[in-house]
A and B are shown apart, each in its own frame.
Chain A
Amino acid sequence: GDSVTQMEGPVTLSEEAFLTINCTYTATGYPSLFWYVQYPGEGLQLLLKATKADDKGSNKGFEATYRKETTSFHLEKGSVQVSDSAVYFCALNQAGTALIFGKGTTLSVSS
């Protein structure tokens, strides 16, 4: 079945560092891809999404490009802030299925 694999954390960075969180997927067909973020003690919020190959999703300085050839959707940010500390989830969605999540990557940013 469909699945999402993302790099294990925790990822620990200093403020203003460059962030990459790797995400790859396995799916039949053409899924939509998402990044969700969960701040401590809160629910999940959509960070960005891409619905077809070569689409780039972006929000709050975060970006991810849907790469069909490498089945990847890596999350990047050029300069992280302490307030970006959270758990980040990569996910995919296809017709007739619910959102399938990766295991989450915890990001901790220190000043």
Chain B
Amino acid sequence: DTAVSQTPKYLVTQMGNDKSIKCEQNLGHDTMYWYKQDSKKFLKIMFSYNNKELIINETVPNRFSPKSPDKAHLNLHINSLELGDSAVYFCASSPESSGNTIYFGEGSWLTVV
């Protein structure tokens, strides 16, 4: 069973479109994250939720909006996509927000054309 699963794995879309990436974890963890990996492989935290509550919101454009309907799901919606949004987006989860292993999904490769 996949512990952290995200869909879609690949997404190619045009500039200006709105798209969503879904994430689900079956590990019973309280904390979920979204990370962005750029073309140079650099990983940066975007958002973190603990039990459906937003706890980390890094400097991310307002076009990015996370939604956590329950603690097992954290979706990422992106409005008005731009070329610079092309990246790999990783969902992750952990038992609590510090000191414990963070488990990553397989990533969603977003290409904006």
Instruction: Report the stretch among B35-43, B68-76, B78-86 that lies at the interface.
Output: B35-43
- Bits for A78-111, please: 1 = Cβ < 8 Å to B, else 0: 0000000001010001111111110110100000
Q: Count contacts on A: residues with CB < 8 A to the other chain.
A: 25
User: CB distance A98 to B42 under 8 Å?
Assistant: no
Q: A98-B33, A98-B48 are in contact. Are A104 and B42 (CB under 8 A)?
A: yes
Q: A98-B48, A104-B43 are in contact. Are A93 and B105 (CB under 8 A)?
A: no
User: CB distance B33 to A104 under 8 Å?
Assistant: no
Interface assignment of A17: CB less than 8 Å from any CB of chain B: no
Which A residues contact B (CB, under 8 angstroms)?
A: 32, 34, 36, 38, 42-46, 49, 51, 87, 89, 93-101, 103-104, 106
**B6-56 at interface with A (beta carbon < 8 Å):** 33, 40-45, 48, 55-56
